[in-house]
């Protein structure tokens, strides 16, 4: 029989014909046709009146020939974890981290509504440290695998004596019993009543948003007494509603790590930019060339990439390329941009979040088209001003007509900035925000 | 991701159907012949390339039964082309029925009339894919003829399996039929 540790807080399939020790809790894999691992009712038939769950098949098959086995989470940790991170938090980050600790102590869920580039991860450190020292088991999850892959080394470096495992669809290292689990939200389906603290980063992003199976996974993976911390720059309407109704506590972090406000979303109207390169675009490109500034141009569709690329081919001194979700060289191209080997990328919404390119400007062509939701626009605006050297920059939405999403995105940024201004007064932060000029 | 690679109209070994430069018997088939076997003249629909391995992983090992439908048509038409008397699928063990829940071969034979003349006789046949080539070749006869058919003598039997790897499985099955006095045994597999 397998190592018991590997089953603590886990829910694993086991063929009905395979015997297990009595201490393993065995439950039927389906109750009234509903898969007991993922909570969905999406069965596919097998011969001889058997069936399996199609919804969570990606994690291995749950069939009517299986039981689910489980061992309760014993929290077998020594609590000797130390924080060895050499940095310090800003006053606002300290405030948010205190709020979080308080919510954990009271067993309440908490939303951290922090602007893009606020330093959310670091702000979690006091909360995580407290949890680790209290021998709590912690999961830090995100719908996006790139977020998890990026977080893993940072957390490993920030704490000593901490055991952690990274779980996602493409990882090849086997599962081990650890106090910290870093994983994509899908992986939570393999856990049951395991976590005392569950942090969900980028909670509003695909595929978590509006996915009942993944919401079920979160509910099942936590213990009854646990806390969920949601982190995002752009909360979904249901999270906002929960805050309004008082069901969810919230902390705002309206200032970025360099204490500056978000760059404003500017809106300019043009004629059909797909037919002819707008004058506005020409002028802006000339400014970019003159100032040797790197920039991203967001477009609604993959088919638009070539249109805009052709426009820019007239500028022989400009070097750049296009990128989209299925581009096999996606990572290399972003790397080229980061190393300043190229001056621009024309991109679909794939680069809307998770990408930090210091000192860039952003244009959004067709910002009024349905591809760009309010939150997508806020995330895109968040690509700008992410360095101490250049904490501001240009975010220009180029539209045929201003629509509700563009308007709301602008309002959302302004509202965050208003909170930011108040905070700056409260904490006495000097206003270093320089107006956008040719020389910064 | 590679694509599935079809084998029809390709130059293959006339003994096992593997893709090669000539129609001559490959080294493995020469060995079967030296061991005194009548060659199976196996024919396969596809090479066992990366795409096919990934398919088999999803279909057999993860157990996504509905993937059976992808190759049903092409496999059945290759079977039909052979013009044999009795189609016999390679069986899976009782254990596999209780874990995987399906026979990956018969699942693909919906509109073909076949006879399940073979059964798994060994208690633990084990999975062939879990064994090394050497183990496979010297393994014991895993099958039994499940019921005596009135007259198999002179009949032409077509064995059907999902993958031809070493040929050991199919040659074991063929042995039983030759002992029962059939005229000829050949085989068709989805992949080689």
pLDDT digits (tens, 9 = 90+) for A120-174: 889 999 999 999 999 999 999 999 887 888 889 999 999 999 999 999 987 778 9
Q: Where are the domains of chain B?
A: 44-191
Judging contacts by C-beta atoms under 8 Å, the chain B residues touching residue A59 are none
Judging contacts by C-beta atoms under 8 Å, the chain A residues touching residue B66 are 44, 54
Higher-pLDDT residue of A434, A283: A283
pLDDT digits (tens, 9 = 90+) for A182-229: 999 999 999 999 999 999 998 888 888 889 999 999 999 999 889 999
- Establish if A169 touches chain B: CB-CB under 8 angstroms: no
- Establish if A63 touches chain B: CB-CB under 8 angstroms: yes
Q: CATH assignment of B44-191, given 3.40.50, 3.30.450, 3.40.630, 3.30.70? A: 3.40.50
- Establish if A47 touches chain B: CB-CB under 8 angstroms: yes
Give the pLDDT of residue B133: 62
Burial A224-235 (b: 16+ CB within 10 A, else e): eebbbbbbbbbb
Judging contacts by C-beta atoms under 8 Å, the chain B residues touching residue A60 are 62
Chain B residues interacting with chain A (CB cutoff of 8 angstroms): 62-66, 95, 97-99, 101-103, 107
Phi first, then psi: give them for residue A237, nearest 5 degrees. Answer: -55, -35
Among the partner-chain residues A46, A57, A60, the one whose CB lies closest to the CB of B101 is: A46
- Find the residue in B nearest to A66 (Cα): B99
pLDDT digits (tens, 9 = 90+) for A133-143: 999 999 999 99
How far apart CA A197 and CA B19 sit, in angstroms, is 56
ipTM: 0.88
Q: Report residue A438's pLDDT band, with 50, 70 and 90 as the boundaries.
A: very low
User: Under a CB-based contact definition with an 8 Å cutoff, are residues A141 and A158 in contact?
Assistant: no
Q: CATH assignment of A265-427, given 3.40.50.300, 2.60.40.2470, 3.30.300.160, 3.40.50.150? A: 3.40.50.300
How far apart CA A11 and CA B67 sit, in angstroms, is 26
Q: Report residue B150's pLDDT band, with 50, 70 and 90 as the boundaries.
A: low
Question: Does A437 score more than 50 pLDDT?
Answer: no
- Find the residue in A nearest to B95 (Cα): A17
Among the partner-chain residues B99, B103, B107, the one whose CB lies closest to the CB of A15 is: B99
> Domain A82-253's class?
alpha beta
CATH 3.40.50.300: which residues of chain A? 82-253, 265-427
Distance from CA of B78 to the nearest CA of A (A): 24
How far apart CA A13 and CA A31 sit, in angstroms, is 15
How far apart CA A172 and CA A262 sit, in angstroms, is 39
Judging contacts by C-beta atoms under 8 Å, the chain A residues touching residue B64 are 44, 57, 61
- Establish if A289 touches chain B: CB-CB under 8 angstroms: no
Question: Does B8 score more than 70 pLDDT?
Answer: yes
Tokens 């006495």 label which residue? Answer: A428
- DSSP 3-state of A343: coil
Taking CA atoms, A312 is separated from A289, A293, A336, A357, A361, in Å, by 11, 15, 18, 21, 16
Tokens 């021998």 label which residue? Answer: A135
| Sign of the CA dihedral running A330, A335, A337, A341 | negative
CB contact under 8 A, A48 and B101: yes
Distance from CA of A15 to the nearest CA of B (A): 6
CB contact under 8 A, B62 and A60: yes
Question: Does B153 score more than 90 pLDDT?
Answer: no
pLDDT digits (tens, 9 = 90+) for A48-80: 999 999 999 999 999 999 999 999 999 999 999
């Amino acid at each position: 029989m397998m190592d018991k540790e590997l089953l603590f807080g886990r829910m694993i399939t086991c063929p009905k014909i395979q015997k297990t020790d009595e201490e393993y809790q065995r439950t039927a894999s389906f109750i009234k046709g509903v898969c007991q691992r993922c909570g969905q009712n999406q069965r596919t038939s097998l011969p001889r009146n058997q069936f399996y769950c199609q919804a969570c098949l990606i994690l291995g098959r749950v069939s009517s020939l299986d039981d689910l086995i489980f061992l309760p989470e014993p929290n077998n940790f020594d609590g000797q974890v130390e924080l060895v991170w050499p940095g310090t938090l800003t006053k606002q980050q300290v405030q948010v981290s205190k709020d979080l600790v308080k919510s954990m102590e009271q067993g309440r869920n908490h939303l951290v509504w922090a602007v893009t580039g606020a330093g959310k991860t670091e702000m979690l450190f006091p909360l995580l440290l407290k949890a680790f020292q209290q021998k709590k088991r912690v999961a830090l999850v995100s719908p996006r695998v790139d977020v998890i892959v990026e977080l893993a080394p940072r957390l490993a470096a920030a704490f000593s004596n901490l055991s952690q495992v990274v779980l996602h669809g493409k990882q090849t290292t086997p599962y081990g019993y650890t106090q910290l689990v870093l994983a994509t939200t899908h992986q939570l389906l393999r856990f049951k009543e395991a976590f005392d603290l569950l942090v969900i980063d980028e909670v509003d992003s695909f595929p978590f948003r509006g996915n009942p199976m993944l919401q079920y996974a979160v509910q099942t993976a936590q213990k009854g007494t646990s806390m969920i911390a949601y982190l995002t720059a752009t909360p979904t309407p249901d999270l906002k509603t929960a805050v309004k109704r008082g069901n969810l506590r919230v902390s705002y972090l309206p200032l970025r790590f360099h204490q500056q406000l978000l760059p404003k979303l500017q809106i300019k109207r043009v004629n059909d930019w797909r037919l002819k390169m707008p004058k506005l675009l020409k002028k802006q490109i000339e400014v970019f060339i003159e100032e040797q500034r790197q920039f991203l141009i967001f477009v609604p569709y993959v088919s638009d990439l070539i249109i805009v690329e052709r426009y820019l081919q007239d500028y022989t001194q400009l070097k750049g390329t296009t990128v989209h979700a299925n581009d096999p060289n996606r990572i290399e191209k972003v790397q080229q941009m980061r190393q300043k080997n190229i001056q621009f990328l024309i991109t679909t919404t794939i680069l809307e979040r998770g990408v930090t390119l210091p000192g860039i400007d952003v244009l959004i062509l067709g910002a009024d088209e349905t591809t760009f939701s309010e939150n997508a626009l806020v995330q895109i605006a968040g690509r700008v001003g992410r360095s101490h050297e250049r904490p501001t920059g240009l975010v220009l939405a180029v539209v045929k007509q201003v629509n509700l999403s563009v308007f709301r995105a602008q309002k959302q940024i302004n509202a965050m900035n208003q909170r930011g201004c108040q905070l700056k007064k409260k904490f006495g932060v000097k206003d270093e925000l320089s107006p956008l000029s040719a020389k910064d | 991701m590679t694509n599935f690679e079809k084998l029809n109209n390709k130059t293959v070994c006339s003994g096992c159907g593997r893709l090669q430069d000539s129609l001559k018997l490959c080294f493995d088939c020469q060995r079967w012949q030296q061991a005194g076997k009548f060659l199976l003249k196996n024919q396969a629909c596809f090479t066992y390339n990366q795409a096919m391995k990934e398919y088999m992983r999803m279909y057999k090992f993860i157990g996504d039964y509905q993937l059976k439908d992808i190759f049903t048509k092409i496999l059945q038409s290759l079977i039909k082309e052979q013009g044999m008397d009795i189609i016999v699928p390679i069986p899976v063990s009782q254990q596999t029925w209780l874990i995987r829940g399906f026979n990956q071969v018969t699942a693909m034979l919906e509109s073909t009339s076949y006879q399940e003349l073979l059964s798994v006789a060994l208690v633990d046949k084990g999975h062939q894919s879990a064994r090394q080539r050497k183990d496979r070749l010297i393994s014991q006869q895993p099958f039994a003829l499940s019921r005596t058919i009135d007259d198999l003598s002179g009949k032409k039997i077509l064995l059907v399996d999902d993958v031809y790897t070493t040929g050991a499985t199919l040659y074991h099955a063929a042995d039983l039929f030759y002992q029962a006095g059939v005229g000829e045994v050949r085989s068709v597999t989805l992949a080689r």
